[in-house]
A and B are shown apart, each in its own frame.
Chain A
Amino acid sequence: MILAASMNPDLLSALDDAIIRLKRGELHALEEVMAPYQQRLYRFLLRLTQEQAAAEDLFQQTWIRVMEKIGRYDARHPFTPWLFSVARNLAIDYLRQRRTGSLDVVDDSGTAPVDRLAGGELDPLERLLEFERGVVLASAIAKLPVIHREVLTLRFEEDMKLEQIAEVAGIPLSTVKSRLLRAMESLRGRLQRQ
Chain B
Amino acid sequence: MNAHESIRAKLALAAAGALQENDLREVERHARECESCLRELELWGEYTRELRQLPQPVFPSNLLARTQARVLHDHESALHRRRNGLMLCSLAAYSWVVAFSAWIVARTLTGGTLEVFGTNLVDVGPWILTSWVLTWITAGVAAVTLGRRNPARRVL
Name A residues whose Cβ lies closer than 8 Å to a Cβ of B: 27, 30-31, 34-35, 38-39, 42-43, 46, 52, 56, 59-60, 63-64, 67-68, 133-135, 137-138, 141, 152, 155-157, 159, 162, 177, 180-181, 184-185, 187-188
Contact = CB atoms under 8 A, between A and B. Distances in A.
B67 A134 contact: no
B71 A63 contact: yes
Nearest to A31: B68
Interface string B49-74: 01111111101100110111011101
Given A56-B63, A63-B70, A162-B18, 4 more contacts: A42-B57, A60-B67, A134-B54, A184-B16
Given A30-B68, A177-B13, A135 B55 contact: yes
Contact of A180 (B16, B50, B52, B55): B16
Contacts of A141: 54
B57 A46 contact: yes
Contact of A187 (B47, B57, B70): B47
Contacts of A159: 52
A184 B55 contact: no
B12 A184 contact: yes
Contacts of B52: 156-157, 159
Q: Which 7 A-B pairs have the closest CB atoms?
A: A156-B51, A184-B12, A60-B67, A134-B55, A156-B52, A60-B70, A64-B74
A43 B16 CA distance: 20
Contacts of A60: 63, 66-67, 70-71
Contacts of A135: 55
A185 B53 CA distance: 18
Contacts of B75: 27, 67
Contacts of B55: 134-135, 138
Secondary structure type dominating chain B contacts: helix
A38 B60 CA distance: 10
A138 B54 contact: yes
B96 interface: no
B57 A184 contact: no
A141 B54 CA distance: 10
Nearest to B50: A137
Contact of B59 (A30, A38, A138, A155): A38
A188 B50 CA distance: 12
Interface in B15-70: 16, 18, 44, 47-48, 50-57, 59-60, 63-64, 66-68, 70
Contacts of B50: 133-134, 137
Contact of A155 (B18, B68, B70): B18
Contacts of A35: 64
16 contacts: A31-B68, A38-B59, A38-B64, A42-B57, A60-B63, A60-B67, A63-B67, A63-B70, A64-B70, A64-B71, A134-B55, A155-B18, A156-B51, A156-B52, A162-B18, A184-B44
Contact of B47 (A52, A162, A184): A184
A54 to B, nearest CB: 13
A180 B15 CA distance: 11
Contacts of B70: 60, 63-64
